[in-house]
Copies of this chain bind each other. A is one copy, B any other.
Amino acid sequence: VSIQDVAEAAGVSIATVSRVLNNPTLVSPRTATKVRDAINALGYVPNAFAQGLISKSSRVLGVVLPDIHGEFYSELLRGADSEARHQGYSLLVCSRLRSADGSLLPIAALGFVDGLALMITEPDEGLLRLLRTHATPTVVLDAEAEAGAGIDTVIVDNAAGAREATEHLLKHVPADRLCFVGGPRDNFDTKTRAAAFIDAIAASAGAPPDDARVAFGTYSFEWGRQWASDHAASLDRAGVLAGNDEIAYGVVHRAEELGLKAGRDFMLVGFDDTRLASLVRPMLSTVRVPLADVGAAAVSLLVKRIKDRGAPVSHVRLTPRLIVRETTRD
C-alpha cells in the first residue's frame, strides 16, 4: 500500500497526500481529513527507503563497540539509547568482535546510518584512516585525541581518575607497596591509567614504581585472580589499583582464599563503578566512570555534527571520580 493507493482512495493527488503528512498547513482541513481517513483505512505507512532516498537521512545512528556485552558497554548503550530517543534517532548497534574480515566497518547497513559512533580501545591506524576517507559523520569514543585528530571524540579523563585513586591509596599504604593491575597493555584506558598511577607514585615517593608493580593482563575476573595468586606473598599490607572492577573482584576472590580481606589486610580500588561494585561484599572502592554520559555525549555530538558538518571539531572530556566504599577502609 503506497502513497498512490491513498491518493486514489481519497480522490486526490499523491502530492496532496504527501502534504498532509509533511506540511499540513498547505492543505484545506476538509481534504486533510479525507486523506487522513484514507491513510487510516488502508493502514498506510510511508516507505522509509523512498523517504531516505530523497532526504538522504534515516534518523538512524550506528554504534560500534568492541563488544556489546557486560556492564560496561551495557551502561554506555543505555545512555546512548536514551539520548538518541530524545533526539529522535534510533541506534544500529553492533560489536566489532569477529569482524576481522579486514574490509570495511562491520556494519552491513553502514549505508543506512546518518552517523557513526565508534569506540576504539586499541591503536588501529588502518581504521582511523578509513574513517577520514568516509564521508559519514563520525565520533570516536575512547581513543585519545592523538588518534582522533580531525574527528569529534568523547574521552574519559582516565588520568585524573587514576591519580585520584592512587593518591587515595597513598593515604593508607606506603608508595613502595602500591601495585597497578591493568587490563591489556595496548588498551588506551589501561595505558593512561597506568601512566597516571606511575606519575602519582613518582610525585609522592620521588621515584616511579618498579616495573614489577605495574602489571598488564585482560579485563577479566580470572586475570585478577591470577595476579593475586602470583603476588600472594606480598599482598598483605599492599595497595592495589585495578584496571577495572572485574579485575578487582578477581583479586578479592583469591585473596579471601588466602585469608586476606580487602579493606582490612590490603587496600583495593577498582575502576568503572559498574553495578558489581556496589552489590558485592565487600563493596568496592572504585573510580566511577560516567558510562551512560559517555554514550549520551557521543550521540549528542554526533547529532550536532550531522546538523552542521562544517562545525569545528569538538572533544568532550568527562571526568570520573573516586567512590570510597569498603575495600579501602576496614
Further 20 A-B residue pairs, CB within 8 A, beyond A70-B275, A82-B97, A92-B93: A48-B112, A49-B49, A49-B52, A49-B56, A49-B58, A49-B111, A50-B53, A53-B53, A60-B109, A69-B74, A69-B78, A70-B74, A88-B108, A90-B92, A91-B92, A92-B92, A93-B93, A253-B281, A276-B279, A280-B281
Which residues does A use to contact B, with CB under 8 Å?
43, 45-53, 56, 58-60, 67-71, 73-75, 77-78, 81-82, 84-85, 88-95, 97-99, 106-112, 133, 221, 246, 249, 252-253, 256, 275-276, 279-281
Task: Find chain B residues with CB under 8 A from A68 CB.
Answer: 74, 77-78, 81
Would B108 and A59 count as touching, CB distance under 8 A? yes
* Neighbour of A74 across the interface among B53, B74, B90, B276, CB < 8 A: B74
A253, B281: Cα distance in complex, Å: 7
* Minimal Cβ-Cβ distance residue in B for A85: B98
Would B85 and A75 count as touching, CB distance under 8 A? no
A45 touching B81 in the complex, CB below 8 Å, given contacts A74-B69, A279-B249, A281-B281 = no
A85, B48: Cα distance in complex, Å: 23
Task: Find chain B residues with CB under 8 A from A92 CB.
Answer: 60, 90-93
Would A43 and B276 count as touching, CB distance under 8 A? no
Would A109 and B58 count as touching, CB distance under 8 A? yes
Would B48 and A111 count as touching, CB distance under 8 A? yes
- A241 CB to closest chain B CB, in angstroms? 19
Candidate in A50, A74, A97, A275 with the most chain B CB atoms within 10 angstroms: A74
Task: Find chain B residues with CB under 8 A from A249 CB.
Answer: 279-280
Would B246 and A279 count as touching, CB distance under 8 A? yes
A221, B280: Cα distance in complex, Å: 11
A110, B252: Cα distance in complex, Å: 46
Please list the 3 inter-chain residue pairs (A to B) with the smallest Cβ-Cβ separation, ordered nearest first: A48-B111, A49-B52, A74-B74
Would B60 and A112 count as touching, CB distance under 8 A? yes
A90 touching B109 in the complex, CB below 8 Å, given contacts A82-B98, A256-B281, A279-B246 = yes
A89, B281: Cα distance in complex, Å: 41
Chosen A-B contacts, 24 in total, with CB atoms closer than 8 Å, are: A43-B133, A45-B110, A46-B111, A48-B52, A48-B110, A49-B52, A49-B111, A51-B111, A52-B52, A59-B108, A67-B78, A68-B74, A68-B77, A73-B74, A74-B74, A81-B93, A82-B97, A82-B98, A85-B98, A90-B92, A90-B109, A253-B279, A253-B281, A279-B280
